[in-house]
Structure 1
């Protein structure tokens, strides 16, 4: 997802450097909070995954805003599918039932 986001951020940067920077910050947060969550236990783990989930949604929102503002054209469906997969995986980690 980070590699995909980097490519999209490069395209966005040509029209809006602030939005590209926001996308990059959100992507950093996804990766770093996921890694931190993997090294934590119980509630802290869930908090980190929840932060990563919010940031992953933010990455996708940045792309959608860039498209709406006509900064970029269509994004490869495989890129969006990978982002959706990451979001779904984080969602399962955050909202899984505890027995």
Structure 2
């Protein structure tokens, strides 16, 4: 079962790519953590779509946690002055991903 939110996650990665690069030049560890968390969203969304039962739900919980981690990385990068301000559309997209995954884990 393909999930529409997967395409949203891929587009979010495209938007996030320059931010990951900028953060990575200031703080390689935070840049790497941001990249890993962001890619984890899409990877676990897709894996969950082709899983069943508890495995399906576990992948969606992992993707949801990764989306929250991306938001935290952006907030930390902003607090440390690595980026000016996190893009509101990007934050809205992360919220949309979390909301969708929250619904999926509750069904």
Q: CA deviation at 1:14?
A: 2.3
Runs of 4+ in structure 1 off by over 3 angstroms are none
Q: Provide the aligned length of Structure 1 versus Structure 2.
A: 96
Work out which of the residue numbers 43, 46, 49 in structure 2 matches 1:32. 43
Instruction: For 1:76 and 1:50, locate their aligned partners in 2 and report how far apart those are by CA, in whole Å.
Output: 24
User: Which has more helix, going by share of residues?
Assistant: 2
Q: Distance in 2 between matches of 1:7 and 1:57?
A: 19
TM-score normalised according to structure 2 size = 0.83
Please, which runs of 5 or more residues in structure 1 have no aligned partner? none
Root-mean-square deviation (Å): 1.1
Could you tell me which runs of 5 or more consecutive residues in structure 2 were left unpaired when the two chains were aligned: 1-11
Say yes or no: does 1:88 pair with 2:76: no
When the two structures are superposed, what TM-score results if normalisation uses the length of structure 1? 0.89
Alignment check: 8 A CA contact 2:38 2:66 kept? yes
